[in-house]
Chains A and B, each alone.
Chain A
Amino acid sequence: MDFSALRNLISRYCTGEENWVDSRTVYIGHREPPPGTEAYIPQRFPDNRIVSSKYTFWNFVPKNLFEQFRRVANFYFLIIFLVQLIIDTPTSPVTSGLPLFFVITVTAIKQGYEDWLRHKADNAVNQCPVHIIQHGKVVRKQSRKLRVGDVVLVKEDETFPSDLILLSTSRDDGTCFVTTASLDGESSHKTYYAVQDTKSFNTEKEVDMLRATIECEQPQPDLYKFVGRINIYQDRDEPIARPLGSENLLLRGATLKNTEFVYAVAIYTGMESKMALNYQSKSQKRSAVEKSMNAFLVVYLCILISKALINTTLKYVWQSNPNRDEPWYNGKTDHERQRHVMIRAFTDFLAFMVLFNYIIPVSMYVTVEMQKFLGSYFITWDDEMFDEELGEGALVNTSDLNEELGQVEYVFTDKTGTLTENNMEFIECCVDGHVYVPHAICNGQILSGSSGIDMIDSSPGPDGKEREELFFRALCLCHTVQVKEEETVDGIKRGIHQGKATSFYISSSPDEVALVEGMKRLGFTYLRLKDNHMEILNREDEVERFELLEVLNFDSVRRRMSVIVRSSSGHLYLFCKGADSSIFPRVISGKVDRVRARVEHNAVEGLRTLCVAYKALSQEEYHNMCQLLDSAKLALQDRDRKLAEAYDLIERDLVLLGATAVEDRLQEKAADTIESLHKAGMKVWVLTGDKMETAAATCYASKLFRRSTQILELTTKRTEEQSLHDVLFELGRTVLRQHDSLTHDTFSGLSSEFQDYGLIIDGATLSAVMKPAQDDSSGNYREIFLEICRNCSAVLCCRMAPLQKAQIVKLIKASKEHPITLAVGDGANDVSMILEAHVGIGIMGKEGRQAARNSDYAIPKFKHLKKMLLVHGHYYYIRIAELVQYFFYKNVCFIFPQFLYQFFCGFSQQPLYDTAYLTLYNISFTSLPILLYSLIEQHISMDILKRDPSLYRDIAKNCLLRWRIFIYWTFLGLFDSMVFFFGAYFLFDNTTFTSNGQLMTTNTQMIFGNWTFGTLVFTVLVFTVTLKLALDTHYWTWINHFVVWGSLLFYVVFSLLWGGVIWPFLNYQRMYYVFVQMLSSGPAWLGIGLLVIISLLPDVLKKVLCRALWPTSTERIQRLKADGVFQRVLPQGHDSLLDPPQCTTET
């Protein structure tokens, strides 16, 4: 962070007189340009060292400690530890120091190890050799010594050592192929272009002769954006300026493919390369459970402080009698007597704090972290979420949100690639209203002539024939598809057998591949791009060549792309294809109405439609266009805007040719998944950039909307007729009328008895709704809109820009119920919403890996969302909820007896338990069973959870961590600790047990002291707390048995050992034989058994009664299963095991 500030400072200082503060000038090969052109300002750039490690050998200890103690919890324990060191406290500093030390050490070792790995990786990268051209020779250097301005030689399959501007390649056309698999996961080969004027350089000598400077922007993390300019000085003429774009920029981390070698010049090095800039960590998301946990912690902190205050006050009230304060048998030292009463009181307060501090256990943080970290492995291990085709299973990028998966209320999903396969199939095309369907779908067979075409309409006339061929050629030319003549290509592959070699079409857009392939089936085969000429094999098996002059690339704002080509006969054409909404307004002739009708028809069928138009250009027009484009491309600032303006001017006055329809099939089980999510009480929103009809058709197909769903439309079409205000209020009224009738049950808005609403809204209307309030009435729009949405089970938002997707998520997140949102998407356009939502899920799709990389969890297919939420999410939530509640419970049980004991020991902070017990209670006696529980508990089997999604509602709204339940657990803890303490108290009361109590053999009489008392309480405590967990466990594997009984056994063995030896390193031997002596008395056994049963009784009773009288649906299912009814029910294939599917929430 400070680094970038420094960098800015330097650059500002160095580029003082330059036009652009945020740009840099790079001198290729460190050669100055000819004098007089510009002042030579040497700029300082960082070297090419990559530093990903956080620590060095020297600063590891202080820096790591500092980072660790920045966590509030660690800091709290540090304070407690320091207090123990400073003042005279009841418990030794070891009791809190040891766990803290343990936690800090383990964390430090883990982080140190990770950092060591990073150091190793850094070194490997920084020392790997690169080839640098110096004085016309190739010199090998370590990568870290590479400087900005060095000319680098990179060979095939090598990785680029820094961000480079491509000067020339071994290929004649100045292109090279690159995979960016390690950057964004896209394994397809991308083409990069050398600078026009330097692409002919083939030797080191030639490259060395080059005198040029590159002006470019300062590094920024966007991988796909780059603007710059190269000035080439030749023979003291005015420099030739050429634009540089992202197509000239080779990114560090990418690999050169299919190209023998390239020469390139380094412009961004080391930590300034785009790859390094992209490592910035994402903002941390916090789960709802964590928030509840923190709230509970605050409560416990208050309890802790009030306990300490109460005891301190009572102590001084009690001590007001000097014979109590200092009886003759228990004198104070002079030092103690002289201390000021306020200081004494404060010290006492701190001592009480220390005594009770275990109520907030350091181990809870450790256990929760471990649970999350280890638990997330079950997601990656899941066999059912493994996709054979992709060869990958689910990925966990953050384990902090596991339990949030069980709390989702809103699901925002992308359509293309998420709900649908993004596996395009060419269905038909329509030229001037004539429909062509390639009926013989046999892959790889070139079907000659019209045999492959099924004419629906009557054959067009000769004029039509010409238009038809123009249309086919347009589709063959207007694209950015590459032909790959290799067999092993990842990503999108389609075979075209050309007799001998196998080739594939590769493109970043699957639509284009589908179109080009569709054309092949219709007789026009795109062969390759060679020397800037596109070659097409037409129906007569002749090769037609078109010179590719300009490509106006696709972008999501314009929603169209164009090419300008020159045919072999010299005619110039501009072909344009794009979404209907972006083409129709630009068309001046053609059979618009017929095409539009067909497009709309196809859209309703759920097909993706594109329109194709063309324009014949005169030489003059072409020249104008070239100038327009060049000037825009050369601009350093606002290049994007200028380009867009230029495109807008060029793509005008088109002639409509026709339209295409491509089918994007629904993903396997997408409908089933959506239905399950609905049943689980989630509201599913589809956010798509597609047009309304297509999207709505997909929604019907995926059962997002059902036949019974009443569709509410909030679209531009409607708002044109009525004002937005009226539409909103009308819809609001419709929905609210419904709402009033079901206020008694907010959950069953989806159940079949009630009218089901679906909302369709488009991007334009949405932005109108979201527009900040100008007057009072419009400020309400947002609220009304939210109210409508709340009552709709499904919402479809179409025509959405990527940023709008994030806005919607934010809107819902901020609404007054603060629902938990989940966003799922596969493309770069979904990243913003994935980052915005509480849980972001990426689909490892065809549009690259960006979504998966930015997500919290990545899954191969949409259908895996079902298991992810309904099974894993449900389990994690149940597990962590129990973990949190149980941890507080067991520490109340642990500490409250100590509090009570203060009333019997003159508020002297005498601990009830021995130091070893205080220390080990949370670390070893009671830690493993709950950790194991929180890893493998399954209250219901996986299959039932999947089969009956409505069970998900049982845990909705963080219901296991509500205050009511928290208070129940706390009171249970209080009750249990009262039982422990007063049970032991009555056993030890003067009339009973303190005195004699004899072993079975008669020669030992016991005089039980305070440590035996504490040990008795502690034994009851450990057994009760462990058995309580055992009662809560619904899934007893052998590991559970081993851990639960093992930890009880461990307690007994440890106590025997601890009391069995005079430990030389201890300065007290108070536990010596205490445990054995206690166990040798009959009443102790009887007492322990009795107290454990009394403590467990209320909880068992509560469970049994609740289950019998007010069972939740989860409990009913458990019951059914236990009674064996389940097996009988299964084959009948009921969706829900419970009829009617009434959701009973515990009241």
Chain B
Amino acid sequence: MFRSGLLAASTTRMMTRSSPLAGRMIVRAASTTATQQRQTNQSTTSSPAPSTIYKIYHYSSYSLLALMPLGWALAPAYSMPIDLVLNVIIPVHTYLGMEAIIGDYIYAPAARYSAKAALAVVTVLMTLGLYKLNTKDVGISQSVKLLWKDTTTHSARK
């Protein structure tokens, strides 16, 4: 629906404007369904198959989308398994995201290598720290909720 309006409007504007291409413009069908568009795009583009690391990043994003609100809702009583899963997924998502950012902006091999090494060290330390937060302290989800808790009247572990 959107695409048909977009195409019709743009081709009409291009046709009525006096430009060198006006006479040579080929008028296409005004409406293409979503299926037709997908088939067109899949037949004209070729992209490399997603690697395992990309799939890990993709599924970690979906997991975080589901688990962060669930952890917030279930904390602190039933959030222990969610906190342990988050203990792994948050550092993985952090590492892969920051690795993409470093790869985008830092080109010199020495600077890039040392930045990625520092990132790996920080990620490992972060995992250990979050594990300590999960076992010795209240847990990741409840720790986020602590900012909103009125700790003068409520206990931190409720």
Bound pair (A, B): no
Chain B residues within CB distance 8 Å of chain A: none
Chain A residues within CB distance 8 Å of chain B: none
